């Protein structure tokens, strides 16, 4: 068993996925590059952080949401190929750690591109349309993202076809389902500051802890589009 960052994962998971380097880490999960040895392709492996995996309610929510998101199939949504769990030893007890196997997306986040001033008006409109198309699709499947923000949008490199058509690169929306799992797990995760939703982008009803539906995602997407066009968040507070 190898140790990556602050979390232990097996070198091979489910007798199929060879775990490589860490490519991302957040409050909820760590993402590793991995190889699906059965299909001979690189994938991204999202592993729930150990402290959350020890929470029985959140672990169940995470697994349920992962399975729901795996049913989504849209060109602007990062695909989920597989879900499962593996056991690790924490102290004297054994913990079941859920994971998701996802499409490995190479590119840059919209947050990074905006920070570097690389998003012009035409790109902003194209990215905005793609985000809304992804949300329209997920909402029709009954899945609300709950954490739409520039850091959760990946911009892929332009293809030859994109350049020929004069279009910017394709975008992929990431992290569907995880915010709902965190919110529904209850007070313990809330107090740990892990419930999703960045203040600049969450809707008023989400900030108040009220029922969140598809309209909340549209609100967040509008905030992202505004920021792409104006160069600042509509609700940026002074430091």
The catalytic residue among 82, 147, 175, 217 is 147
Residue 212 per-residue DSSP state: -
Indicate the DSSP class of residue 93: E
pLDDT at position 14 is 93
Catalytic residue at 147? yes
Q: Is the per-residue pLDDT at 104 higher than 90?
A: yes
User: b/e per residue, 149-163, with b = 16+ CB within 10 A?
Assistant: bbebbbbeeeeeeee
- The pLDDT score that the predictor gives to residue 66 is 84
Cite the beta strand spans of the chain per DSSP E. Answer: 2-4, 7-9, 12-13, 17-25, 29-36, 41-48, 80-90, 93-103, 108-109, 153-155, 171-173
Mean pLDDT across the stretch 91-112?
91
User: pLDDT value at position 192?
Assistant: 42
Q: What's the whole-model pTM score?
A: 0.84
Q: What is the pLDDT of residues 26-81, one digit of tens each?
A: 777 899 999 999 999 999 999 988 888 888 888 888 888 788 888 899 999 999 99
What integer is the mean pLDDT of 151-165? 91
Q: What phi, psi does 20 have (nearest 5°)? A: -110, -140
> pLDDT at residue 239 above 50?
no
Residue 219 or 1, more confident = 219
Query: Three-class SS of residue 54?
Result: coil
Q: How far apart are CA 168 and CA 162, in angstroms?
A: 6
């Amino acid at each position: 068993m190898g140790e990556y960052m602050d979390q232990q994962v097996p070198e091979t998971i489910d007798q199929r996925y060879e775990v490589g380097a860490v490519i991302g880490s957040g409050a909820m999960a760590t993402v590793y590059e991995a190889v699906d040895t059965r299909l001979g392709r690189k994938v991204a492996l999202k592993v729930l952080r150990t402290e959350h995996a020890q929470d029985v309610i959140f672990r169940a929510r995470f697994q349920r949401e992962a399975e729901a998101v795996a049913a989504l199939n849209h060109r602007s949504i990062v695909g989920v190929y597989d879900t499962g769990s593996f056991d690790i030893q924490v102290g004297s007890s054994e913990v079941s750690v859920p994971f998701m196997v996802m499409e490995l997306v190479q590119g840059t986040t919209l947050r990074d591109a905006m920070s570097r001033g690389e998003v012009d008006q035409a790109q902003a409109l194209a990215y905005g349309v793609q985000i809304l198309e992804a949300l329209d699709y997920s909402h029709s499947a009954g899945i609300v993202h709950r954490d739409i923000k520039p850091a959760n949008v990946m911009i892929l490199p332009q293809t030859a076809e994109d350049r020929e058509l004069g279009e910017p690169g394709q975008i992929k929306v990431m992290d569907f389902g995880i915010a709902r799992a965190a919110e529904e797990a209850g007070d313990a995760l809330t107090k740990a500051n892990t419930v999703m939703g960045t203040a600049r982008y969450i809707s008023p009803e989400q900030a108040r802890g009220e029922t969140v539906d598809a309209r909340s995602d549209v609100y967040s997407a509008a905030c992202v589009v505004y920021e792409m066009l104006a160069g600042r968040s509509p609700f940026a507070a002074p430091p």
